[in-house]
Chains A and B, each alone.
Chain A
Amino acid sequence: MLTMLCLLLAGLAMLTLPALLGWVGVLRLGCVGAMAAMAALAVLALLWPVTEVLALPFGPPWAAALLALDPLSAWFLLLLGLAGCFASLLVGPAPRHELVAYPLFLLGMAVCITAADGFTLLLGFEAMSLASWAMLHERRAARLYLIFAVFGGACLMGALGLLSAGAGSLGFAALRAAPPEGALALAVLAMVLLGAGAKAGLAPLHLWLPLAHPAAPAHVSALMSAVMVKVALYVLLRLVFDLCGGAQPSWWGVPLLLAGAGSAMLGALRANLETDTKAILACSTIENVGLIAVGLGLALMFRGADMAVPAALAMSGALLHVMNHGLFKCLLFLGVGVVLEQAASRRVDGLGGLLGRMPVLGWAMLVGALSAAAIPPLSGFASEWLLLQALLGVWRTGDALFQFAALVALALVAMAVALGAAAMLRFWGLVFLGRPRSPRVAGATDVQGAGRPAVLLPAALCLLLGIFPGLALGLMQPVLAQWLGPAVPGPGGVFGLSAGDAGARYLVLPAALLLGLLALALWRAGMFSAGGSAARAPAWDCGYIAPPPHMPFGFPDTQPSGAGFAQPIARMLGAPLLAGTDVVTVPPPGSPVPARRRAGTTDPTWAALAALRQARHGLSGFLDRLRTLSIRHSLGLMFATLVLLLAVLAVLERP
């Protein structure tokens, strides 16, 4: 099976040749095939876990590169395979370097996921960052992105070094054998949180994300948002959960929990305020990463407290959300790409009324948006149910610290979930409902060709995983067994999920069936009741006059705009949390000028970044004075150095 994996990786590497020659068709076909094969391979590896480690014939000068495909890797590889398969369907003509970078991006992620030693892990990690950097279009975003990536990589290097203090080598087996203890382990945790957090977009290291994701072509930002941040979370899982061993204290989960809740809140709030569709989706990625981090933190807490069942609950919730978010976010980004190509706009204020023009895309994206909004019976709700159940169970640990942390986290997560729902409604509603805001939108046609499977398949998977979460949890069982021992029961079942303790269950299948039946029954009833089919008329809209004929879609200003729709939340939450400004200028009575509203928010973390930049600037300016020394002074410097060293020597040699 590992040899299969190697062949796939080699194939991906080979795909740079057709990319170099500009054969888009071959590239697309190859990427789709390779990714599909990878997903199949991952499923196989989950059904029949692979334990052996494969040493590649090449590697760094000091050791061979190792590959492995244990259940944890396989789970993330499955996500990569699926999302990569869907995204690759939309690979289109592009500048040469972007074509070349794309397969390398996929390759980097795959290598990082399946690596079995520190060097290979980091090699894949950095290659992933570099390749995706090459595909960004805006220089500022690209710079910030790459610098954050370098920061993450450096922190992870340090973490690996500290981790390997006990073991000689960097192979995962050796590291597992000698887990760190005490302050060293703490340093490892901090380093990994910084490194992986910077890549996953955990607050306060999330600044690059809403800039970088919109700057890439649709299929790339789909992969960045759906898989790349998850790869960072995989690294976190691998280093903290796996390699640090099971003996770590229980409070390790707390920072992860709070950071996760915070970024969930922040991301969801920003998602409600952005007006660029891709930025909205990127911010919702921050939110979902935060939710996953909450789950992981809870899992650490429970394991530390020797509560295997809730630990399994939290862990499976997090992992399931990894998969769900990957799928629906991939779907949404791809859909936005299609919309951009059809309607030539990314801003919600430039779109509208697309459901009538692109029904297939619209309904598929509705499925994605609803499962992103955690609405039963779609996939998002299942994983968030597990996470909330885990949060509701923290009080059983009986430790005041955890209890109050969980209290705060619960309030934040609840608010984040509601905000996320609001953001998704705003996103989908403004884009697909209402009236077109530009002629180009009015002329849009529905998604064709390769785009259809690219959006329909993930939508179908969202439905499937929503109604049968047991499937995913069954596949996930080996991961839990690998981490908590084979005895632990997973929360999955045929009819739905069960939270272990007394009878808290989410019977999604019957609920979905009943829901469908009831809706159907009501519909039939409505049909039978007299009155007949519906008639059409101009919208009443509290008596607005019908638009003049030269404006077939009415005045755009009579529709809620992105900023207008965001106004209540901006005033209720944005003003206190994001230093929001909201200035309304009302013209004097009788003047024909419309009232104008100028609103804006700034992420407080920008201030911190600016302070750092200021400090760097000042320090470099100070040190740069050394450069202007004359020859004699440089000689003097040399002389002083020599004298100093000799003096040190003289002191050291005093008997």
Chain B
Amino acid sequence: MGTLAYDIAHVLGGAMLLCSFLLLSQRRLGALIWLLAAQGVLLAMAAGWQGYTQGATHLYVSAAIALLAKGIGIPWALHVAIRRIGDAEADAGLRAMPALLLGGAMVALAILVALPVSTGSRVLTREDLAIALSILLLGLLMMCTRRHALAQAAGLLSMENALMLAAVGAAGMPLVVEISAAGLVLVVAALAGLFGMRMREHVATLDTGVLDTHRGDPR
């Protein structure tokens, strides 16, 4: 049972990691949102599996939340937003190759930090930690490299997924974390949309780089 649980959890986590690699290299917004949805669903499955293995019922709840919010709700909202704004143009971030290379480096670092870290604690936790950390770093990397507001929001979202993954992996984690994370995610999406609208009014694009010209106290 232990090995099986380990393998399945590992496979799910790995799939999520793959998703965020794709997110990193994906340039079109629509595909980006699909990938987010996929990652959300994977997260839900991972949460459910953890609930099953740990026998913790409240993890099922969080799995449900993840499925509804991240797998369905938010992608849909983003779709709507994009349709309203109507520019799904390719987003000039890093090119695919260097982005993937950097991502690889991040994963290496995460493993480097995580593996020696948790010797002594349960193997499952350790794997989850490594994967979650690398997903987190990839999401952050994505936020740094993308200029499009929605792309940045997507990066933030995948970071949240990483958090949830780690949270469900951590035994005995009180429910408070999932709720807060979900709340955070909702607010994130809402605000991102809000900013999107707002920016349509002021600056005629979602390119956040334009904002930098609007800072007070110039040199």
Interface residues, chain A, with chain B CB atoms under 8 Å away:
624, 627-628, 630-632, 635-636, 638-639, 642-643, 646-647, 649-650, 653-655
Contact = CB atoms under 8 A, between A and B. Distances in A.
Which 3 A/B pairs are nearest by Cβ-Cβ distance?
A630-B212, A636-B144, A650-B112
Most buried by B among A627, A630, A636, A647: A630
Contacts of A653: 113, 116-117
A490 B143 CA distance: 79
A632 B209 contact: yes
B116 A635 contact: no
B109 A646 contact: yes
User: Would you call the interface of chain B mostly helix, strand, loop, or mixed?
Assistant: helix
Nearest to B112: A650
A23 to B, nearest CB: 46
Nearest to B143: A635
A632 B140 CA distance: 11
Interface string B194-219: 00000000000000110110010001
B56 interface: no
Contact of A643 (B116, B137, B146, B212): B137
Nearest to A621: B219
B81 interface: no
B201 to A, nearest CB: 19
Contacts of A638: 140
Nearest to A651: B112
Contacts of B110: 646
Given A639-B144, A642-B140, A632 B109 contact: no
Contacts of B79: none
A638 to B, nearest CB: 8
A631 B116 contact: no
A646 B117 CA distance: 11
Given A631-B208, A653-B116, A639 B109 contact: no
B120 to A, nearest CB: 13
Contacts of B211: 630-631
24 contacts: A628-B215, A628-B219, A630-B211, A630-B212, A631-B208, A631-B211, A632-B145, A632-B146, A632-B209, A635-B143, A635-B144, A636-B144, A639-B140, A639-B144, A642-B137, A643-B109, A646-B109, A646-B110, A646-B113, A650-B109, A650-B116, A653-B116, A654-B116, A655-B116
A643 B145 CA distance: 15
A649 B113 contact: yes
A655 B143 CA distance: 34
Interface residues of B, number: 21
Contacts of A643: 106, 109, 137
A655 B117 CA distance: 11
Nearest to A635: B144
Contacts of B146: 632
B115 to A, nearest CB: 10
Interface string B94-136: 0000000000001001101100110000000000000000000
A624 B208 CA distance: 22
B147 A632 contact: yes
B72 interface: no
Interface in B45-59: none
Contacts of A654: 116
Interface in B22-37: none
Nearest to A646: B113
Contacts of A650: 109, 112-113, 116
B141 interface: yes
A627 B140 CA distance: 21
A628 B219 CA distance: 8
Given A630-B209, A646-B109, 11 more contacts: A624-B219, A627-B219, A628-B215, A631-B211, A631-B212, A632-B147, A635-B143, A638-B140, A643-B106, A650-B112, A650-B113
Contacts of A628: 215, 219
Nearest to B147: A632
A624 B106 CA distance: 30
Contacts of B215: 628
A654 B116 CA distance: 8
Contacts of B117: 653
A632 B211 CA distance: 11
A509 B211 CA distance: 85
B186 to A, nearest CB: 22
A640 to B, nearest CB: 9
